Chain A
Amino acid sequence: MEIKASKRQLLLFVVIPLLPLIVFWIIPLIVSLWLSFTDWNYISPTFNYVGIKNYTQLFTSQEFKQALAHTAYFTFFSVVPIIVLGFLLAVGLNKLKRSYKFIQALLFAPWVTPLIGMSIVWGWIFNSKVGPINQILHLLHLPEPQWLTNPTAAMWTIIIVTIWKNAGWAALFFSDALAKIPASLFEVSDMEGLSWWQKIWYVLIPLVSPTTLFLVIVMILECLQAYDQITVLTQGGPAGSTTTLLYLYYQLGFKQFQMGSATALSIIILVISAILAYISIRMSRKHTYY
């Protein structure tokens, strides 16, 4: 039975613990929305209400359109390989008869190590003159991209680091989902004489689809919030080519002090995230993922 809480209990269990949540989570979310309708510049004590001007300005600005396109590109080309690689690694892991734990530990290590530090290391690995990647490409007589100074290559550097960080993590979830598939299904598919890729295509992929959907959403949210690898490797450059929505938010808010535009942008990021979160909550009512 749930009991009716006394005033003292409410104070202890609800009011006091809620204070930090209200001050540093709920109020800031509301204030951000409110600031997005002003022209506040952080320094001046006064500001004006400008209606939806910050939003219309963003939607018509080249900066925003580019950042949106970069975010979509970055997210798509990070999430798809993370999911595919994560799935294939999990299929392999679950077939493994030995050293399962050891391999799993290797695959998962990137998720634990600090992304700032590891991005600094990646910056040197991708260094176009002395980095090992171009040294290997040189030995193989392949073209050696200017990883961090060419706009397209710079975006791919960020994407590769993002895939590196998350693929092993995705594999853990797939590995669990695959382990839950009843063995009888494999016996049936063996009797039906399915080849290995038919098994993957007709049996495994449909059965793990709830996990796939969940991972896709979580990974999109992760990409929307990607910052560390960008600030270390490219700082949004060259020529804005790796400036995502979140990085643009940082530049508008904390470099240019255009608090109105910055909060408006953060509300746009929030709305995109909220839609994805809503989909995932709706889905989790139908399925269990973990």
Chain B
Amino acid sequence: MKKVQKIQGYVLFIILLIIGLLMVYPMIWMLASSVKSANEILNQPLQLIPRTLHFENFTNALKAAPFMQWLWNSTWTTVVIVFMQLFFSSLIAYALTQFKFMGRNVLFAIILATYMLPSATTYIPSYVILGKMNLINSLVGLVVSNLANVFVIFLLRQSFMSVPKGIIEAARSDGASEWTILWQIVVPMNKNSILNATLIGFITNFNGYLWPSLLLNDTKKQVISVGLNSFSNTQGAFNQTFPIIMAGTTIAVVPLIIVYVILQKYFVQSSKTSSIKG
């Protein structure tokens, strides 16, 4: 009986391992193709391991398009967006849970009613509003239009509700200001939710495509997803350009793979709080 269970365990492990490897096969195939020659890919398409390494694919890709600029654009806009969303959302979530003010219930009702709605509905008016602010084709415009995120407010509000009232009252009677209570007591107590919101925000903003693709025109001002797609389109689906496209894609994807490998356990935990992205 024990033996049967042991064999079953091995079979299960092998099946799951195969499915897991199939899931990461596109990434592995991309990495392998990025260092092959076009001929090798065409002649032995199923051979995964490259015979010779062609790192010039990467230098060619970097010469053909400003990948490093795009990565930098994505990185700084994502960092600023995520930071500002957390900053504003913490303030609003604190007000929603600790203050009495006129319109509080209406405000929460609006947040609750809209946090699952598709952001695409806002694109046309947002585009016009940014146009009036002279922020079309500008990374600042991308940041400004992303300062608000209803989902982050919702997430933090739910989390801040669990802070025991006694702690906040004690701090108040010690003479702490509301500002101090928020940043020195409430936020540290909710660091798991903050971390979750940070990682989800990082992924969705760094990988975002549709909105930045509408907003940004200049090659130099692209974020990585938009730049990569236009690079791949201009290179065309010709067999000879295949390795350089894979090298470009690798440049775009590898930073996330590295972040994921380092922060894997936090990602797995965080993703479960995200149901909807803004």
B8-30 contacts to A, CB under 8 A, are: 9, 12-13, 15-17, 19-21, 23-24, 26-27, 29-30
Residue contact B91 to A13, C-beta cutoff 8 Å: yes
Q: Say if the beta carbon of A188 comes within 8 Å of chain B.
A: no
Residue contact A130 to B117, C-beta cutoff 8 Å: no
Q: How far is the CA of A120 from the CA of B241 in the complex (A)?
A: 13
Minimal beta-carbon separation of A149 from chain B (angstroms): 11
A267-284 contacts to B, CB under 8 A, are: 267, 269-270, 273-274, 276-277, 280-281
Which chain A residues border B124 with CB–CB below 8 Å? 28, 31-32, 35, 253, 259, 262-263, 266
Q: Say if the beta carbon of A184 comes within 8 Å of chain B.
A: no
Minimal beta-carbon separation of A148 from chain B (angstroms): 9
Q: Say if the beta carbon of B62 comes within 8 Å of chain A.
A: no
Q: Give how many A residues have a beta carbon under 8 Å from the other chain's beta carbons.
A: 99
15 A-B pairs in the complex with CB atoms less than 8 angstroms apart: A10-B95, A16-B88, A21-B150, A25-B148, A106-B20, A112-B203, A114-B206, A117-B253, A131-B45, A135-B46, A228-B209, A246-B118, A262-B124, A266-B118, A273-B118
Q: How far is the CA of A20 from the CA of B81 in the complex (A)?
A: 12
The 3 closest A-B pairs by CB, nearest first: A106-B20, A28-B122, A277-B116
Please name the residue on chain A nearest to B273 by beta carbon: A290
Mask, A247-272, CB within 8 Å of B = 1, is 00110011000010011001101100
Q: Say if the beta carbon of B83 comes within 8 Å of chain A.
A: no
Minimal beta-carbon separation of B143 from chain A (angstroms): 10
Q: Say if the beta carbon of A213 comes within 8 Å of chain B.
A: no
Q: A114-B252, A132-B46 are in contact. Are A25 and B92 (CB under 8 A)?
A: no
Mark the stretch among B53-61, B187-195, B261-269 that contacts chain A. Answer: B261-269
Q: Say if the beta carbon of B162 comes within 8 Å of chain A.
A: no
Residue contact A29 to B121, C-beta cutoff 8 Å: yes
Q: Say if the beta carbon of B216 comes within 8 Å of chain A.
A: no
Please name the residue on chain A nearest to B30 by beta carbon: A121
Q: Say if the beta carbon of A66 comes within 8 Å of chain B.
A: no
Please name the residue on chain A nearest to B239 by beta carbon: A130
Residue contact A101 to B265, C-beta cutoff 8 Å: yes
Residue contact B129 to A93, C-beta cutoff 8 Å: no
Residue contact A23 to B271, C-beta cutoff 8 Å: no
Which chain A residues border B117 with CB–CB below 8 Å? 29, 270, 273-274, 277
Residue contact A117 to B268, C-beta cutoff 8 Å: no
Mask, B100-111, CB within 8 Å of A = 1, is 110000010010
Minimal beta-carbon separation of B212 from chain A (angstroms): 11
Q: How far is the CA of A143 from the CA of B88 in the complex (A)?
A: 55
Mask, B111-125, CB within 8 Å of A = 1, is 011111110111111
Q: How far is the CA of A113 from the CA of B122 in the complex (A)?
A: 26
Q: How far is the CA of A228 from the CA of B24 in the complex (A)?
A: 19
A181-235 contacts to B, CB under 8 A, are: 214, 218, 221, 224-225, 227-228, 231-232
Q: Say if the beta carbon of B185 comes within 8 Å of chain A.
A: no
Q: Say if the beta carbon of A97 comes within 8 Å of chain B.
A: yes
Please name the residue on chain A nearest to B34 by beta carbon: A121
Which chain B residues border A123 with CB–CB below 8 Å? 237
Please name the residue on chain B nearest to A13 by beta carbon: B95
Q: Say if the beta carbon of A18 comes within 8 Å of chain B.
A: yes
Residue contact A269 to B121, C-beta cutoff 8 Å: yes
Q: Say if the beta carbon of A43 comes within 8 Å of chain B.
A: no
Residue contact B12 to A95, C-beta cutoff 8 Å: yes
Which chain A residues border B33 with CB–CB below 8 Å? 124
Q: A25-B148, A114-B256 are in contact. Are A225 and B13 (CB under 8 A)?
A: no
Q: Say if the beta carbon of A96 comes within 8 Å of chain B.
A: yes
Residue contact A24 to B122, C-beta cutoff 8 Å: yes
Q: How far is the CA of A1 from the CA of B168 in the complex (A)?
A: 9
Mark the stretch among A75-83, A150-158, A166-174 that contacts chain B. Answer: A166-174
Which chain A residues border B268 with CB–CB below 8 Å? 104-105, 108, 172
